[in-house]
Each structure stands twice: as C-alpha cells, then as structure tokens.
C-alpha cells in the first residue's frame, strides 16, 4: 500500500521499475544522452553530485 499526499492509502500495483546504478550509467564521464521518442535529453552529474536533466 502507498499513501498519497493526503494520507489516503490506496493499493497501487507496481509491475516493473528498472533500477540503474548511476556509476555504471555515467562510467568515467559526467553526462549521458537519452533518446526519448524524437527528442534528445542530456542527463548531467553536477560537482555537488546532483542530477540535472535538460532537453
């Protein structure tokens, strides 16, 4: 069961969530390009170890 922002509990069926390790995703770099439909996004790892996704 998962509670929403109002505190209500509603059953949510999670079928599959993929988990990627950021170290494997970035390898020795600090950015990766992600193709989604006809758009290209860039996922960057900042100096503060945060993630930024831009179009």
Q: Of 35, 32, 37, give the one whose Cα is nearest residue 52.
A: 32
36: left (phi over 0), alpha (psi -120 to 50) or beta: beta
Q: Kind of pairing, strands 2-3 and 31-36?
A: unpaired
Residue with structure tokens 């069961």?
1
* Per-residue model confidence (pLDDT) at position 5: 57
Q: Are 40 and 31 in contact (CB under 8 A)?
A: no
pLDDT digits (tens, 9 = 90+) for 1-55: 455 555 566 677 777 888 889 999 999 999 999 999 999 999 999 999 999 999 9
Q: Kind of pairing, strands 51-54 and 39-45?
A: antiparallel
What is the pTM for the complete model shown? 0.67
């Amino acid at each position: 069961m998962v509670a929403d922002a109002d505190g209500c509990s509603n059953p949510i069926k999670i079928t599959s969530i993929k988990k990627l390790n950021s170290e494997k995703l970035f390898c020795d770099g600090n950015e990766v390009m992600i193709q989604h439909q006809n758009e290209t996004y860039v996922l960057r790892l900042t100096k503060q170890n945060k993630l930024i996704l831009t179009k």
